[in-house]
Structure 1
Amino acid sequence: AQSVKQQLAALRHLFDWLVTGHVLHTNPASFVRGPKFSYTKGKTPILTPTEARKLIRSIPTDTLVGLRDRALIGLMIYTFARVSAAVTMNVKDVYRKQENLWVRLHEKGGKHHEMPCQHNLKEWLQEYIEAAGLAEDPNGPLFRSVDRKTKQFGANRLDRQRAWAMVKRRAKKAGIDTPGICNHTFRGTGITAYLENPEAKLEHAQQMAAHSDPKTTRLYDRRSDQVSLDEVERIGI
């Protein structure tokens, strides 16, 4: 609905320009009503902090695939990264700055978004990169798919679909049955967990998530779910 409204607005501007230039007498789109769009909360399911920790701790880290999956899920949680930005990262997009580890995310519109690593993410990325020997290939993909023949990481980049399959597989093994869990779940999980901190600020969450509009950030905030549950539990029957 939102994209339709945006397209309709663009058409109205175009026709207004044509009317101003005397190409058209009237704007044919001026009386067209767009769809109503009024979401106060996103539809993507999120995990509670307890569920997120359970999922991450359930991933075995005695294999390269396990280290990769933990690092990828951690990246999406702690940097609020979109999966498309995560899987397009190269090894050199993990770097040191100001005595800490940082990541460079390739966001929509060719924009680069830099984020410092939370201490857990720092540890998980370093362990993964070191174990996989990726530091020797800085221009190569950070998250790689496994070659079916050799069962080792190849040179191919892990894509969104395989990342989604991994998330569903890991969630099932961890006993997490949240309906509709997907890559985007971790973005909402991270934002909500951040905003639950009393010292957190919406504008900081917006900056961290690389949102141009704070209204978009609010769609990821599911604190009202818990508030509602707390209130319902007050019904003493």
Structure 2
Amino acid sequence: MPTLVLTAGVEAQARYWEFFGATIRSRHTRRAYRRAIEDFLGFCADRGAENLVDLTPLHVGAWVEGLGRTHEPATVKARLAAVRSYGDWITASHIIPYNPAAPVRGPRHVVRRGNTPALSREDARRLVQAIDVSSVVGLRDRALVGVMLYALARVGAAVGLRVGDLERRERALWLRLREKGGRIHETPASRALEGWLLEYVEAAGIAEDRAGPLFRSTTGRSRSLTPRPLLARNAYDMIRRRTRDAGLDAEIGCHSLRATGITLFLDAGGALETAQALAGHASPRTTQLYDRRGDAIAVAEVERIVL
């Protein structure tokens, strides 16, 4: 626990743990917020603050200014949001008289184009074809790549699938994805993805374990699956390994497959609103951040500059 919280007394200490345990449901957000708040309180303690009541907007402003020299604006804004949220909590709990972060402005940050790289149609096909599906692990990896590529799923939602989340209706296989904030997003699988999923489920022998995880980890370097779910970081390592095996130089991660799927859908004439629905985005502006069709246009156009 940060020193400033310890010196603020038992009530402040209780409110500190309650802030993370009671107000934040996502463990990823909880971890990020705690890291930001600990960094801020440590910054203030190093500069003479002895208690939470000593904190002022100048402390917050100086901390934000320092972060801006070493971090991207989006990171600074996210960390300021964490401190501002914690300030609101302890103000409402009467630990401090006012929130010192409330009047502090973060850096200007306008995003018109996302940074996530995407694969071309040829490279995406090359990645899938390079996966050795002679073992159940290869079948698992191909199916997982397919869920992120065809179903436009986030890696967290993909590895969170259970066997029972595959449901056949309306002559198609549907996936029930658990997205951020506990939101359920259902989407149909394409014929290619359906084939990959069913082939993997049959080879893994998990069709009857409907409450069990769909994508499962392996024991060490063995080719056998465990009852435990595959973790998101393991899925990322798998994607990086499969990318290298396919001879692709791009820094492709799990989110790149989502961007690739959205770009290929739009390039094939799909509507932006449909891509938004398939990806489970709240706004079409978010979906547009994943559209990489303009990259090919830009590369072709600059070739007009001839010396």
Q: TM-score, normalised by structure 2?
A: 0.68
2:306 and 2:200 map into 1 onto residues whose CA distance is 50
Measured after TM superposition, the shift of residue 235 of structure 1 is 3.7
Measured after TM superposition, the shift of residue 33 of structure 1 is 2.2
Q: Is 1:157 aligned to 2:229, yes or no?
A: yes
2:80 and 2:221 map into 1 onto residues whose CA distance is 48
The partner residue of 2:211 within 139, 143, 147 is 139
Once the two structures are overlaid, the 10-residue window that deviates more, 31-40 or 216-225, is 31-40
RMSD: 2.4
What does residue 21 of structure 1 align with?
none
Bigger Cα Rg: 2
Q: Is 1:193 aligned to 2:268, yes or no?
A: no
What does residue 15 of structure 2 align with?
none
Query: Aligned AA for 2:258?
Result: R
Q: How does 1:143-222 map to 2 (within 5 A)?
A: 143-148=215-220, 151-179=223-251, 181-198=252-269, 200-222=270-292
1:190 and 1:166 map into 2 onto residues whose CA distance is 18
Measured after TM superposition, the shift of residue 69 of structure 1 is 0.3
2:288 and 2:259 map into 1 onto residues whose CA distance is 10
What does residue 33 of structure 2 align with?
none
Measured after TM superposition, the shift of residue 211 of structure 1 is 1.0
Cα distance 1:220–1:150, how it changes in 2: closer, same or farther (>3 A)?
A: closer
- Mark the runs of 5 or more structure 2 residues left unpaired by the alignment: 1-73
1:162 and 1:4 map into 2 onto residues whose CA distance is 26
2:143 and 2:100 map into 1 onto residues whose CA distance is 52
1:139 and 1:229 map into 2 onto residues whose CA distance is 48
- Render the CA deviation track for 1:153-199: whole Å, top value 9, x for unaligned: 110100011111111111101001102x111110111111111122x
Cα distance 1:146–1:11, how it changes in 2: closer, same or farther (>3 A)?
A: closer
What does residue 159 of structure 2 align with?
87
The partner residue of 1:77 within 134, 141, 149 is 149
Secondary structure at the aligned position of 1:114 is classed as strand
Q: TM-score, normalised by structure 1?
A: 0.87
Asked if structure 1 preserves the Cα contact closer than 8 Å seen for 2:135 and 2:223, the reply is no
Measured after TM superposition, the shift of residue 226 of structure 1 is 0.9
Select the structure with the greater relative contact order (CA < 8 A; seq sep ≥ 6).
1
Higher helix share: 2
Query: Aligned AA for 1:133?
Result: G
1:82 and 1:39 map into 2 onto residues whose CA distance is 20
Measured after TM superposition, the shift of residue 236 of structure 1 is 5.0
What does residue 34 of structure 2 align with?
none
Asked if structure 1 preserves the Cα contact closer than 8 Å seen for 2:143 and 2:197, the reply is yes
Identity, in percent, stands at 45
What does residue 70 of structure 2 align with?
none
What does residue 42 of structure 1 align with?
114
Measured after TM superposition, the shift of residue 30 of structure 1 is 6.8
